[in-house]
Amino acid sequence: MSRGKKLSYGMAINEALHQIMEQDERVFILGEDVAKMGGDFGITKGIWAKWPERIKDTALSESAILGLSCGAAVCGLKPVPEIMFADFLGVGFDQITNNAAKLNYMYQGKAHCGITVRAPQGGGIRCAYHHSACVESWFMNTPGLVIVCPTTPYEAKGLLISAIKSDNPVLFLEHKALYNVKGEVPEEMYELPLYEAEIEREGSDVTVIATQTMLAKAHKAAEELDKEGVSCEIIDLRTVFPYDKETIQKSVAKTGRLVIAQEGVKCGGWAAEISAMINEDVFEYLRSPIKRVTGLDSPMPFSPGLEDHVMPQQEDVVRAIRQVMEY
């Protein structure tokens, strides 16, 4: 694989869409303002000029967008619907959880619903309560649905191509605050495996699991604590559901301590699911209680100061690591 070039997270997704559409004529895109405008965040720009028949602007109806996608997928096409903000996936919740996620099971694997639903999520850019949610946990208890949360431009391109090629319905959640973050991305088309976490940093004292914006905060926290002699192992979850239990369990068995950094609200989050799994499966290796670093159980405020207060910060990760190291 070539070394590649520097691309932003958003343009890495754009390049993935261009390349997979070049390769597979079954792939098409639909959503609100995705064609001529190129999407609210510019992620689909340039596609309408090349394939005007394979990218469609739709009405403001998330349920219709997702329902049409489900039908097209059953007929053998590969729809990539964009939902402008992940908060509005709730409008099409039935199409995702009752139709797309269950279809393969209903037809004993003889029919598939290979849709890849792209949706920007997360806070940090002052979009307030209706445009800032992290929605992974809304969908985690839906067997048959895959939830992917890429963090870097490299991950965004490789995981999106894998998602589109998959026959399973994938919820591909992109963090808005990462769209302009740049990183090295190979020029050719490549795939990264779904369902596998990545150990970003080797360590021996504490395991830290994070995704998206929390990953950078975890790395900065680890660098700070390295000066105090604390060795942090950092795991990038990548696929939030079904998540990579084996990698997590092996790491926690090695370090004996676990901190989970999740941007979304605390109650019912994916951090709680992983915490429960570790307590059930590898409790005997734990040397301290598990700590969750999460957002507050609050709607997202519009005020910048209040938004920063509600969202978890680097110092919260540092504090949690110090607390587990006390045992």
pLDDT band at 2 (very low <50, low <70, confident <90, very high): low
pLDDT band at 3 (very low <50, low <70, confident <90, very high): low
- Token pair for residue 71? 């039908």
Q: Is 51 helix (H, G, I), strand (E, B) or coil?
A: coil
pLDDT band at 4 (very low <50, low <70, confident <90, very high): confident
User: Does residue 1 carry a pLDDT above 90?
Assistant: no
The residue from 18, 131, 175, 219 that is catalytic is 131
Give the type of residue at 226.
D
* Residue pair 46/96 in contact by the 8 Å Cβ criterion: no
Mean pLDDT for the stretch of residues 193-221: 98
Query: d(Cα 191, Cα 171) in Å, to the nearest integer?
Result: 17
pLDDT digits (tens, 9 = 90+) for 255-283: 999 999 999 999 999 999 999 999 999 99
* Residue pair 187/2 in contact by the 8 Å Cβ criterion: yes
Neighbours of 5 (CB within 10 A): 11
Query: d(Cα 178, Cα 197) in Å, to the nearest integer?
Result: 19
* Residue pair 112/105 in contact by the 8 Å Cβ criterion: no
pLDDT digits (tens, 9 = 90+) for 42-52: 999 999 999 99
- Residue 126: Cβ-neighbour burial (10 angstroms; 0-12, 13-18, 19+): middle
Give the type of residue at 94.
D
Residue 18 appears among annotated catalytic residues: no
pLDDT digits (tens, 9 = 90+) for 64-98: 999 999 999 999 999 999 999 999 999 999 999 99
* Residue pair 248/279 in contact by the 8 Å Cβ criterion: no
* Residue pair 265/292 in contact by the 8 Å Cβ criterion: no
- Token pair for residue 10? 């958003």
pLDDT band at 163 (very low <50, low <70, confident <90, very high): very high
User: Does residue 299 carry a pLDDT above 90?
Assistant: yes
